[in-house]
Structure 1
């Protein structure tokens, strides 16, 4: 099912799939198609990955899809919307999970095209250190005058509280402007220390896709699509410059067949 709702910028398109497995498979196919479409007109593509159950399942479906071999991975740059501030290789890091699900299966993806959020180490001791270093890397790949690349597609998971990336309801990080990345303390979901793209950076992406599955997300979907404030339901305020997609399974959609 699909539906459209107008918002402050481009319309949001809501696509509902039968279950989480189909959602992950369809999102993977959509992502591969998007990358190939961009590469039909230019070689470089910037993609922002997300973690979480559905996010990692989507990456595993990309790895399993034979269409992945049609992509020129040498031209794809991989980023993350947020990261848990943990040591390198920690199994809870989004990067660690993404490598196991997909990135390690892409031998033609240059290591230098994988732009990780710096991990906790003796040199990087705070989320602010990591955010500043990540912001510097983003700036290296940004157009003149911008803080970050123009992301061709930015994937976001959504929590049952309607948070996206590591921007939680009511959290001061939601209001940070003028920088590409921010350190997050006091996350209500462990671990408490994280690094996130700022809301401003997320909404500068060409396409933003919010991907959510499960009945525990239904209230958050309803609030976000129903016009709740940014601080009450951050997911509802994210927009892509050219396109905003909500990719849901039936359980997460609840009674939502179209955006409101």
Structure 2
């Protein structure tokens, strides 16, 4: 299959979240008919949480065999476990605490209350990825990776002009001096993000329009990290009408 970037436009954020939730459920059910388990990478942010909440609210939620779903996060804020600003805390409240996931299938990113440094945490999560990887790889085969995109074009915790965007020889990086609080974070690198079969980016709001337009127009990855995102099979931007103001017409998909 040839990968191609496509943009699906929705009326508003709620419609976007519901549509993406339905697609996720359908895709995971299909994949579990073909393979033993599914590796999913979650994201944080308002839209990311809205999508997970929509999955939880769907009548089809339990058509997924959640015991065969493996959960990862593409980035995390370096805050104590249970902090309301941590991505995993938001994911738990929106979905994870409501479905029958196996505890060993949830790969939480480390936290400062684990008694380790930020660099040690990056190395620890990289080792966890490697332990779950097939022979010859440093990370698992990811089936679906969710991403948000910031108004500055950042994805995960890879910010414009930051050192992390340039990293290609590591799977997880320690992020310091983030322009968006908190300053310290952990993040997948772009090679890991782009290893996913499907990367689904969700954006809502007029403040995202410029970043989305630049990413799709081929801006420098260093300046607009979202421009460097490309899943192995599919790269799809799920956006609302406000975020789609600067999308090139030839990239708008009627259906997916």
Interval containing the TM-score (normalised by the shorter chain) = over 0.9
Deviations 1:104-139 (A, max 9, x none): 001x2111111011011252222x111111111111
Deviations 1:158-203 (A, max 9, x none): 0000000000010011111222111101100000000000111111
Query: Aligned equivalents of 1:78 and 1:184: distance in 2?
Result: 22
- 2:166–2:222 Cα contact (<8 Å) kept: no
Query: Aligned equivalents of 1:165 and 1:119: distance in 2?
Result: 17
Give SS of 1:66's match.
coil
Shift of 1:259: 2.8
Q: Which residue of structure 2 aligns with residue 111 of structure 1?
A: 103
Q: Which residue of structure 1 aligns with residue 199 of structure 2?
A: 208
Unaligned 5+ segments in structure 2 are: none
Give SS of 1:204's match.
coil
Give SS of 1:109's match.
coil
Query: Aligned equivalents of 1:142 and 1:255: distance in 2?
Result: 39
| 2:112 matches 1:120 | yes
Q: Which residue of structure 2 aligns with residue 99 of structure 1?
A: 92
Unaligned 5+ segments in structure 1 are: 1-8
- 2:210–2:246 Cα contact (<8 Å) kept: no
Q: Which residue of structure 2 aligns with residue 139 of structure 1?
A: 130
Task: Give me the TM-score of the superposition, normalised by structure 2.
Answer: 0.95
- 1:226–1:259 Cα contact (<8 Å) kept: no
- 1:49–1:79 Cα contact (<8 Å) kept: yes
Deviations 1:63-98 (A, max 9, x none): 011211111111100000100011111110000010
Query: Aligned equivalents of 1:178 and 1:31: distance in 2?
Result: 30
Give SS of 1:30's match.
helix
Q: Which residue of structure 2 aligns with residue 88 of structure 1?
A: 81
Runs of 4+ in structure 1 deviating by more than 4 angstroms, as ranges, are: none
Query: Aligned equivalents of 1:143 and 1:179: distance in 2?
Result: 17
Distance 1:239 1:67, change over 3 A: same
| 2:173 matches 1:182 | yes
Query: Aligned equivalents of 1:135 and 1:29: distance in 2?
Result: 31
- 2:7–2:238 Cα contact (<8 Å) kept: yes
Q: Which residue of structure 2 aligns with residue 49 of structure 1?
A: 42
Query: Aligned equivalents of 2:242 and 2:81: distance in 1?
Result: 35
- 1:152–1:205 Cα contact (<8 Å) kept: yes
Q: Which residue of structure 2 aligns with residue 76 of structure 1?
A: 69
Q: Which residue of structure 2 aligns with residue 223 of structure 1?
A: 214
Task: Give me the TM-score of the superposition, normalised by structure 1.
Answer: 0.94
Query: Aligned equivalents of 1:190 and 1:55: distance in 2?
Result: 18
Q: State the aligned residue count.
A: 250
- 2:190–2:228 Cα contact (<8 Å) kept: no
RMSD over equivalenced CA pairs, Å = 1.2
Give SS of 2:142's match.
coil
Query: Aligned equivalents of 1:79 and 1:33: distance in 2?
Result: 20
Give SS of 2:243's match.
helix
Query: Aligned equivalents of 2:105 and 2:28: distance in 1?
Result: 15
